């Protein structure tokens, strides 16, 4: 499946397939290792840089939507240094899109995993590259990309009594049924320059807006089903996590709205913002 998602004949990313890979990683015992090995093989020494870009996108999507078992593999110093950094060495003559993508991933993961002791391999490499004077690209539309760091699976029959009070949609996707971490606060919009997103960025942004909407749906469903005096502590804790994460997401949405020079995307951002405001109002009540 990973080979299909990174096939050089693809004109652009297959987001449905990428998310299917995330599901396999989340739901199977060997999923994280199998996906990691496949992606590593696809990136290492590959001179077809279009395939490398697709593989980096799959990797990025998996880090955002999968859990700790996958993060441990990706954030290791061996992988960051031996695969990602090696890919952008001058002798390999990588195109700018690959060079910037690799540095952007290293930077965002270093920010997100800095406080996790067993995920700091990427932090060490990032700090070393900065000391050597490497310039990291500014981030733009990636600000909506939350890196999910699940602490536990909440909506499963094995872990939470009374979980059937929530609808199937809230349980079926790994990225929505687990506790997401807030978007790294260091991500910013560059200056006041309007952003004219490329088709690739538009597809990516819409994919990430779907994640925001998914979190809103889960939060709304929980608010409908849970009685404050009878709710399980784990459910209430998840609700608070969702509230914090959605507020962090809203901040990024609000920062993006005045900078996007695409009327349709602006309307979509405004709609997501309205939905966020509605669910926050219900939460406060």
Cβ neighbourhood burial of 285 (10 Å; 0-12, 13-18, 19+): exposed
Q: Counting every residue, how long is the chain? A: 285
**8-64 residue pLDDT tens:** 788 778 888 888 899 899 888 999 999 999 999 999 988 899 999 999 999 998 988
Q: Which helix (H) or strand (E) holds 54?
A: helix 49-65
Each residue's pLDDT tens digit, 222-268: 888 877 677 777 777 788 888 888 888 888 788 788 777 778 888 88
Rounded (10°) angle between helices 31-43 and 49-65: 150
Q: What is the three-class DSSP state of 260?
A: strand
pTM score, whole prediction? 0.53
How many angstroms from the chain centroid is the CA of residue 156? Answer: 22
Structural domains of the chain in order of their starting residue, each with its CATH number: 1-141 (1.25.40.90), 199-284 (1.20.58.160)
Judged by DSSP in three states, 116 sits in coil
218 in Cβ contact with 275 (< 8 Å): no
């Amino acid at each position: 499946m990973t080979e299909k998602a990174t096939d050089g004949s693809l004109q652009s990313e297959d987001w449905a397939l990428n998310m299917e890979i995330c599901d396999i990683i989340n739901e199977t015992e060997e999923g994280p290792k199998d996906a990691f090995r496949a992606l590593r093989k696809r990136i290492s020494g590959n001179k077809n840089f279009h395939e490398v870009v697709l593989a980096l996108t799959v990797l990025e999507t998996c880090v955002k939507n999968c859990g700790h078992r996958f993060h441990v593999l990706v954030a290791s110093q061996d992988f960051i240094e031996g695969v990602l950094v090696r890919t952008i060495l001058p002798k390999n003559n990588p195109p700018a899109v690959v060079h910037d993508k690799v540095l952007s991933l290293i930077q965002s993961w270093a920010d997100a995993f800095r406080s996790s002791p067993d995920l700091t391999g990427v932090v060490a490499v990032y700090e070393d590259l900065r000391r050597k004077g490497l310039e990291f690209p500014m981030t733009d539309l990636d600000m909506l990309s939350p890196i999910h760091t699940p602490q536990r699976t909440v909506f499963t029959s094995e872990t939470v009594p009374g979980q059937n009070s929530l609808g199937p949609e809230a349980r079926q996707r790994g990225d929505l049924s687990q506790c997401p971490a807030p978007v790294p606060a260091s991500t910013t919009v560059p200056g006041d320059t309007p952003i004219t997103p490329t088709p690739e960025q538009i597809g990516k942004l819409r994919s990430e807006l779907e994640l925001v909407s998914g979190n809103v749906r889960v939060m709304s469903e929980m608010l409908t089903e849970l009685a404050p005096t009878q709710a399980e502590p784990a459910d209430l804790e998840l609700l608070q996590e969702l509230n914090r994460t959605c507020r962090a997401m809203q901040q990024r949405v609000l920062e993006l709205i005045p900078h996007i020079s695409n009327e349709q995307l602006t309307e979509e951002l405004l709609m997501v913002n309205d939905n966020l405001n509605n669910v926050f109002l219900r939460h406060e009540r």
